[in-house]
Structure 1
Amino acid sequence: MHPLSPVLHGAKSLAVVIVGLSWSTLSRVGFGWFAVMAVVLALGATVLAVVSWYNTGYHVFGRELRVYEGLLWRRTRAIPLERLQAVEVVRPLLAQLTGLAELRLEVVGGGKTEAPLAYLSVAEATALRQRLLDLAARTPVAGVAPAAGAPAGPAEAATAVPPGRPLHAVSNTDLLVSQLLTPQALLIPFGVAFVVVQFLSEGSWSFIAVASTLTAMAGVLLQPVRRVLDDWNFRLARDAGTLRIRNGLLETRAQTVPLDRVQTVGVTWPLFWRVRGWLRMRLEVAGYSAGEIDERNRPDRLLPVGDLGTGERILAEVLPGVPLGALPLTPPPVRARWLNPLSRNVLGAGLHERVLAVRSGLLTRQVALVPYARIQSVRVVQGPAQRRLRLATVHADTAGGAGAAAQDRDLDEAWALAAELTDRARAARRAG
């Protein structure tokens, strides 16, 4: 790894240490001892980072990437390049300031991102990425998309827009307003008013109390702020059979999503966004773990915020011929109101020529679109209450994704729907 790697790891460890010590520790030991504890722990973390850096390396051997790490317990990870789906070059803020980059690999069947090599120089990361993709492309595996559809490198990340035919650029103003129209942001004024009233009634304005309150509010706003930072300058383009996505403010990303790996398209209308007619679109992509701890590593963004017309245009690139505003959705039978007294009229499911469409959600409206060729299995599930009402839920499962579930359908309809989905999935895979 690059010699500056321990410095970056140490800087991250310092931030984690300070946050971990918390305001309560500061109030008990005082600022002086707090600073000493933070410095000692940060130095210890830096020493460990230096030792880890000295004993970590990689080697491309044949058609394997081997990563070595560990001092007392040596560990070697061998990653077969024929299983490689994507190689992503990511540049967090500290890496941008020091001219470094991080290499992340996605492998078919992997439970998480494999072998994050942090950190390399931008030139070395770019050259290694291209070498791995070239080796992976020489040994394609049946049923696995070639790794040429991997996320773009830093050279592409430095451009103003992703290469290919531009499809859409999200306005940063709309992105900010959309995150202000979230429950977290809208409830903050009430929380501030409550805290002010408490302070005025108790006559206590201590530093620790104020700092703890501000920390709690920052935690509430973490998700909207993270979405703004992640989706800043979002650009979407089409290049042959792939979508190219660029986004990020503090951490820039350039990703490539092969369209033949898209498992599901999800469309969401948050409650407060419906006033402005806005929606959000996301993807489920094969080769990326649905249980990824850091969901920001997954290329699932299709449209962070936009109107129906924009959604229709983008959907036409991913699933041609599927009308977002005119899907053949039918509600469950009237007796399903006993299980869904408020949302029965919202639920819906239907078969389009190319996809299974399922609608759900009372306050936050959602629609899931699953291409028939991506359906791996079909299940009919009945709970105790459903058996008494002769209802059932039909699940269409995809590879590594959530798929879609048509809730509370009439039992006969559910079995017919399951049989039709099985036939259409089989026919679509043969045609593909």
Structure 2
Amino acid sequence: MAPVSEEAVTRGQRTHPLTAVVQGALFATAAAVGLVSTILNGDGWGNLGPALSLLVAVVGGLALGMLAGYVSWRFTRYVIDGTELRIDSGVLTKSSRRIPYERIQSVDTAEPLVARILGLAELRIEMAGGKNSRTSLKFLRLDDAQALRRILLSRAHGEAVSEAPDEQRSIITKVAPERVVIGTLLSLDFLFAAVGSAALIVSAIWFGGILVALGGIIPMATWLAQIVAQRVLQQWDFTLSRGERGLRIERGLLSRTSQTIPYDRVQGIAIKEPFVWRRFGWQRLEVDVAGYASSSDEQENGGASSILLPIADRALAAAVIAELMPRASVDVPRTHAPRRSWPFAPIGWRFRWIGADEVSFVAHEGWVQQVTSIVPHPRTQSVELRQGPLQRLRRVATIEVHTPKGPVNADGRSLDQADARAMMLSQLDRARAARR
């Protein structure tokens, strides 16, 4: 179908009628998963038996979900006028959410599996601010979602609405699915989960304590499934591209997401190097983006707002960092943790250091998984110096450079107290100078 025109959108529109079907499928899936979880916890199938109980859960969840989805669809409209996006919803209690264009940070699309099958997509609108900063429209035709995305971004940047399909983008890299799989298989948490599950199964068969071992096998298997889902299925066919407004990430095997990282909203980058990966020179990049909903929303979407690059060699990782933080480097003058800080990290103290140059503050820690956090000086919100009783006894202190909640933790733990205080004062000066 032809893209939705701006004139059609301004009249006020409902989302797609098949929204009810998608919501019903999601409810049915949640009901089935909840029932299986209840059974695995030892509560039994009840009087209906396994097959009938599962059927009732799926059919009941589908019916309730479709009913709730229809009611939500029937009473929800979105309107675009000259100054804002307005979303009206509610049956008994009416609500009208108004989003001024200047507060829009990014507009992304997501295609959950059922919606993707039906050719639908969810539009996710991220605004400035932390709590309740995400608004979504569920669900639109994919073409309509992309057209509406262009309109909102054009209005947010004060530009005329373009009739072009999308801004011109150039591919930075595509991460091959097999590399994502190999990286997952070589991660220590996957190895622990796999070996632990296998050991429990062998023990159960060898000693005959199958029922007892199930209590350990189920959590281990769940952990294993979560690792595979978040690192393989969600990062499948990962594509990173650049455009005028920022980097775009497209990924997912079953559910597909398209996420934009605006250049001016990046608050920090974390470079993570798991133990086995370091032997191959591989890294994972995660990013803090101002305005993105975090915590529960991020967990729900598999860390959609934090993974910048799931696996890459050092050269590619450095090139991507340079895209978002020109001139930023980890090769800065360093202040290392002293030997007397070993009670706080008997092995890890050797890998703790902080440093800064004229561009950014850098903190490094970890020995099983090494993490290097980079924070541009203008993004420093505040700096804190902490010193507990044992730290005072050992004459060490911890410096924290505060950034928005996310994967970047730029902390220098248990440093020499004089070095920590000097770095705190100098970092405050750098941040003030950079903001000016």
Same fold? TM cut 0.5:
yes
Aligned counterparts, 1:50-199, within 5 A: 50-138=70-158, 163-187=168-192, 188-199=194-205
1:31 maps onto 2:31 in alignment: no
Q: Counterpart of 1:5?
A: 19
- Tell me if the contact between 1:111 and 1:292 (Cα under 8 Å) persists in the aligned partners: no
User: 2: distance between equivalents of 1:289 and 1:44?
Assistant: 28
- Tell me if the contact between 1:233 and 1:248 (Cα under 8 Å) persists in the aligned partners: yes
Stretch deviating more after TM superposition (261-270 or 218-227)? 218-227
- Identity, % of aligned pairs? 32
Q: Counterpart of 2:228?
A: 224
Q: Counterpart of 1:394?
A: 399
Deviation at 1:236, TM superposition (A): 2.1
Amino acid at match of 1:358: A
Q: Counterpart of 1:383?
A: 388
Deviation at 1:210, TM superposition (A): 8.2
**2:379 maps to which of 374, 377, 381:** 374
User: 2: distance between equivalents of 1:423 and 1:359?
Assistant: 21
Amino acid at match of 1:124: D
CA RMSD of aligned residues (A): 2.9
Deviation at 1:286, TM superposition (A): 1.5
- Tell me if the contact between 2:196 and 2:220 (Cα under 8 Å) persists in the aligned partners: no
Q: Counterpart of 2:3?
A: none
- Tell me if the contact between 2:89 and 2:96 (Cα under 8 Å) persists in the aligned partners: yes
**2:326 maps to which of 320, 330, 335:** 320
Q: Counterpart of 1:347?
A: 352
- Tell me if the contact between 1:163 and 1:237 (Cα under 8 Å) persists in the aligned partners: no
User: 2: distance between equivalents of 1:74 and 1:393?
Assistant: 49
User: 1: distance between equivalents of 2:153 and 2:387?
Assistant: 46
- Tell me if the contact between 1:2 and 1:120 (Cα under 8 Å) persists in the aligned partners: yes
Deviation at 1:294, TM superposition (A): 2.7
User: 2: distance between equivalents of 1:100 and 1:217?
Assistant: 32
- Tell me if the contact between 2:273 and 2:369 (Cα under 8 Å) persists in the aligned partners: yes
Q: Counterpart of 1:262?
A: 266
User: 2: distance between equivalents of 1:414 and 1:203?
Assistant: 54
Aligned counterparts, 1:222-261, within 5 A: 222-240=226-244, 242-261=246-265
Following TM superposition, the consecutive aligned residue runs of length 4 or more in structure 1 with deviations greater than 4 angstroms are: 209-216, 399-403
Q: Tell me the alpha carbon deviations over residues 119-149 of structure 1, each in whole angstroms, 9 at most, x when there is no partner.
A: 111232223222222332339xxxxxxxx9x
Q: Tell me the alpha carbon deviations over residues 28-87 of structure 1, each in whole angstroms, 9 at most, x when there is no partner.
A: 331354145322343233222222222222222442322222222222222222211111
Unaligned runs of 5+ in 1: 140-147, 149-154, 157-161
C-alpha spacing 1:420/1:53, structure 2 compared with 1 (3 Å): same
User: 2: distance between equivalents of 1:41 and 1:241?
Assistant: 41
Q: Counterpart of 2:316?
A: 310
- Tell me if the contact between 2:134 and 2:292 (Cα under 8 Å) persists in the aligned partners: no
Deviation at 1:400, TM superposition (A): 4.8
1:413 maps onto 2:402 in alignment: no
- Tell me if the contact between 2:200 and 2:217 (Cα under 8 Å) persists in the aligned partners: no
1:47 maps onto 2:51 in alignment: no
Amino acid at match of 2:140: L
Q: Counterpart of 1:145?
A: none
Q: Tell me the alpha carbon deviations over residues 213-250 of structure 1, each in whole angstroms, 9 at most, x when there is no partner.
A: 56861443312332111211222233346223222222
Amino acid at match of 2:101: L
**TM-score for both structures, normalised by structure 2:** 0.84
**TM-score for both structures, normalised by structure 1:** 0.85
User: 2: distance between equivalents of 1:35 and 1:283?
Assistant: 41
- Tell me if the contact between 2:45 and 2:53 (Cα under 8 Å) persists in the aligned partners: no
User: 1: distance between equivalents of 2:135 and 2:317?
Assistant: 35
C-alpha spacing 1:112/1:361, structure 2 compared with 1 (3 Å): farther
C-alpha spacing 1:113/1:176, structure 2 compared with 1 (3 Å): farther
Q: How many residues align?
A: 408
C-alpha spacing 1:323/1:10, structure 2 compared with 1 (3 Å): same
C-alpha spacing 1:133/1:307, structure 2 compared with 1 (3 Å): closer
User: 1: distance between equivalents of 2:45 and 2:215?
Assistant: 11
User: 2: distance between equivalents of 1:41 and 1:239?
Assistant: 42
C-alpha spacing 1:203/1:423, structure 2 compared with 1 (3 Å): closer
C-alpha spacing 1:17/1:358, structure 2 compared with 1 (3 Å): same
Amino acid at match of 2:120: L
User: 1: distance between equivalents of 2:401 and 2:243?
Assistant: 30
Q: Counterpart of 2:11?
A: none
- Tell me if the contact between 1:113 and 1:292 (Cα under 8 Å) persists in the aligned partners: no
SS of structure 2 residue aligned to 1:287: coil
SS of structure 1 residue aligned to 2:400: strand
Amino acid at match of 1:92: P
